[in-house]
Structures are given as C-alpha cells and as structure tokens.
C-alpha cells in the first residue's frame, strides 16, 4: 500500500440555500444551479490496513453496526452497508481493511450525509492505497457507486460539495448541448460577511428523520412523465439560485430571507410530502418571531430547517423554535472542506 498507517478523513455536511435542482436527467436537459454552504457538522471515516485480508465495516452511530467480509472478492453491493462494500470493491487492496464511519448528525437530517459518507470512504481509500484521484474523480466515483449499490442516483450536489473545498458555493451543471459537466465557484465573502451570515442563519432539526427516497422518486417520475409543475419548479429554483449568487457577491445578505421563502414555495410544488404539519408549525414560529424567510434543507418531509433572521431577531427565533420542540444547533461555515490526515 502507498501508506501503511491509519488514514482519517473529515468531511463537512452542508446546508443548501437552493437544492433539489441537481436531478441529473433534468440537468442534462436544461441545466441546474445550486447554492449551498459547508458547515461545522462532520462525517468521519477511519481506514486501517489489515494483514488477514478481511474487510471489516463499523458504524458506531448505527447501533454499533459491524459487518465483516472474509475477502475482497466476496464484497457485495447488495449486502449490509452495500454502498461501502461497493466502494471498497473498486479499490485494489493488497490486503484487508478496517473501515469505521460515523456522522455528527442523524441520518435523514437533509444535510447530505448519505453521499458525503461515500466521498469520505473514497478519500480514505484513495490515501491508503496511494491512488491519486482528483477531487472531481472522487465525486464521480461516489455517484457511480451509489448508482450500483442504491440502484438510483438523484443528483450531484452532495458528492461534489465537500471535496471541492469549503465555504459558500454556487454550483452549476451545464447541459449536454453546451459543455456538459459541473462548474463550482466559491462565493468569496469577507470575514465580516461570513460572521453576519452565520449569525443570521438559525438552523434546527425538526425531530423527523425521513429518508429522501420517496420524494426523490416522485420528482424523478414527475420529470420523466413531463409534469409541468415539477419541471417549472426545478427551473424556477435554479433561477432563484442565479439571483442569490449575485446578491451574495454584491453583499446584499438580507435578500437571502425572501429568496429562501421563494425556494421553499417552489420546493413544495414538487411533491405533497415535502411539507407537513410539524414543519409548517415550526415555519410559522420562526416567521412570527422575526425570521425573514426559510426553507427545509435536502428533499424535505422532515430533517433540518434553515431560517434567515436579521439581527437581533436571531436570538428570539432560536429561543422560540427550541420552545416549540425543535433542536437548534450552532452553525459555522466550514471554509476548509474535506480533510485527510
């Protein structure tokens, strides 16, 4: 192996100011724009070489789940922790490996953990084996492995986001009739602007952990069957992302609140399960206490809500959301991205 020692990886999760617009078939047809930010909530992976040829997967945040595979040729993407098995299967390991992963946030939080863990594992094995995959190659391999192991791939945001550095980013997929591919631009903010953004963002966990699959499948079906409501919503969200990028570049942070609400209203047109009574109640609490706008991160149906709260409303909004039963957590913008050591 290129490195006989232990490899550790830390990869940030993200909040998406504009998401859901990275559905690949739609992007290939008419493009798609994203605005997101990596945050100080992390996914971790540790890889250690073994001399006995066995591959051992451990996920202490999933009831101490442990999966042992006798040899490399027995790895099965249809088995338990199938995505991790598929990723390891792609690497030429001269011996075995111990692979441990865990997330600081619960699954189903809408912060991109399922794809971020894939990039974490790939980055760890990339370092352990001495491969020299580029950041974009890591992201593309993650998408490929998800397609095999999960038999579906919705988008590309969460594979490209952590490996291309931290911060607030504008991400664009160019369709096939131009120059197909992903372009990523970090939106450079001053330290004062970063501090202002971090203070104004109030982020909370709704208490509902809901896999994104049903909503994503419905969006996919809506697009493939040509449902105007779904297609118009995706294109509308991309247009808001383009305007949001300009607002951030010009330093007009207070425009974010109303834009987040525009995105949320478009998001809800994608599928009835995107929102529910719990989410709507928390939304009303935030707005009535001074938030100027907000949305649910990820696919919706539960998970994490994000609000823009012009100071000094941030304190009152956070307090009211906590009293309403949400778990408010401090958020800072991670400006580093994926780290390997």
- Chain-centroid distance, C-alpha 333: 14
CA distance 323 to 304: 16
- For the stretch 183-216, pLDDT in tens is 999 999 999 999 999 999 999 999 998 767 788 8
How is the chain split into domains, by residue range? Answer: 7-181+336-340, 191-329
In the predicted model, is pLDDT for residue 1 greater than 70?
no
Q: Residue 3: its pLDDT value, please?
A: 45
Across the strands, what pairs with 12? 42
- Nearest CA-CA partner of 135 in 114, 115, 160, 154: 160
| pTM (two decimals) | 0.92
Closest Cα partner for 186 from 211, 212, 160, 151? 160
- The yes-or-no verdict on residue 146 having pLDDT over 70 is yes
Mean pLDDT of 292-310: 95
The band of 144, judged by pLDDT with boundaries at 50, 70 and 90, is very high
β-bridge pairing 96-103 and 55-59: parallel
* pLDDT at residue 51, rounded to an integer: 93
Q: Nearest CA to 77 among 152, 132, 22, 4? A: 152
233-280 per-position pLDDT tens digit = 999 999 999 999 999 999 999 999 999 999 999 999 999 989 999 999
Tell me what the mean pLDDT of segment 104-115 comes to.
Answer: 87
Q: What is the mean pLDDT of the chain?
A: 93
Pick the CATH number of 191-329 from 3.40.120.10, 3.30.70.890, 3.40.50.720, 3.40.50.300: 3.30.70.890
* CATH fold of the domain at 7-181+336-340: Ribosomal Protein S5; domain 2 (3.30.230)
Segment 309-325 mean pLDDT: 97
pLDDT of 23 > 60? The answer is yes
Flag whether pLDDT at 181 surpasses 90: no
Q: Is the predicted pLDDT of residue 222 greater than 80, yes or no?
A: yes
Look at 5 and 258; give whichever has higher pLDDT: 258
pLDDT at 4 over 60: no
Predicted local distance difference test score (pLDDT) of residue 215: 87
Cα gap 85→237, rounded to integer Å = 35
The candidate with the shortest Cα–Cα distance to 314, out of 330, 297, 298, is 330
- Closest CA relative to residue 45, chosen from 88, 82, 15, 4: 88
Q: What is the pLDDT of residue 177?
A: 66
Once rounded to an integer, what is the mean pLDDT over residues 143-160? 90
What is the rounded distance in angstroms from the CA atom of residue 103 to the CA atom of residue 180? 32
């Amino acid at each position: 192996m290129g490195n006989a020692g232990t490899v550790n990886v830390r990869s940030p999760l993200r909040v998406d100011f504009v998401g859901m617009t990275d559905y690949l078939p739609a992007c290939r047809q008419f493009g798609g724009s994203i605005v997101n930010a990596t945050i100080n909530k992390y996914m971790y992976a540790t890889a250690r070489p073994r001399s006995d040829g066995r591959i051992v997967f451990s996920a202490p945040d999933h009831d101490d789940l442990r999966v042992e595979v006798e040899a490399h040729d027995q790895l099965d993407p249809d088995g338990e922790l199938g995505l991790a098995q598929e990723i390891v299967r792609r690497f030429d390991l001269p011996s075995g490996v111990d692979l441990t992963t865990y997330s600081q946030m619960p699954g189903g939080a809408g912060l991109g953990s399922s794809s971020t863990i894939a990039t974490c594992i790939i980055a760890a094995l990339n370092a352990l084996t001495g491969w020299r995959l580029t950041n974009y190659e890591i992201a593309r391999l993650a998408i490929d492995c998800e397609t095999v192991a999960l038999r579906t791939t919705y988008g590309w945001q969460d594979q490209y986001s952590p490996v291309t550095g931290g911060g607030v980013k504008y991400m664009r997929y160019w369709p096939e009739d131009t120059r197909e591919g992903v372009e990523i631009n970090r939106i450079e903010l001053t330290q004062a602007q970063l501090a202002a953004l971090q203070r104004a963002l109030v982020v909370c966990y709704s208490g509902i952990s809901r896999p994104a699959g049903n909503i994503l499948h419905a969006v996919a079906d809506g697009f493939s069957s040509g449902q105007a409501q779904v297609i118009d919503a995706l294109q509308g969200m991309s247009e808001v992302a383009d305007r949001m990028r300009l607002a951030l570049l010009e330093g007009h942070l207070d425009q974010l609140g109303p834009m987040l609400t525009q995105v949320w209203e478009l998001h809800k047109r994608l599928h009835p399960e995107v929102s529910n009574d719990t989410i709507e109640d928390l939304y009303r609490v935030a707005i009535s206490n001074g938030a100027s706008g907000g949305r649910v991160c990820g696919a919706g149906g539960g998970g994490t809500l994000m609000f823009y709260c012009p100071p000094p409303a941030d304190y009152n909004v956070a307090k009211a959301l906590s009293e309403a039963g949400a778990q408010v957590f401090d958020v800072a913008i991670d400006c580093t991205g994926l780290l390997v050591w």
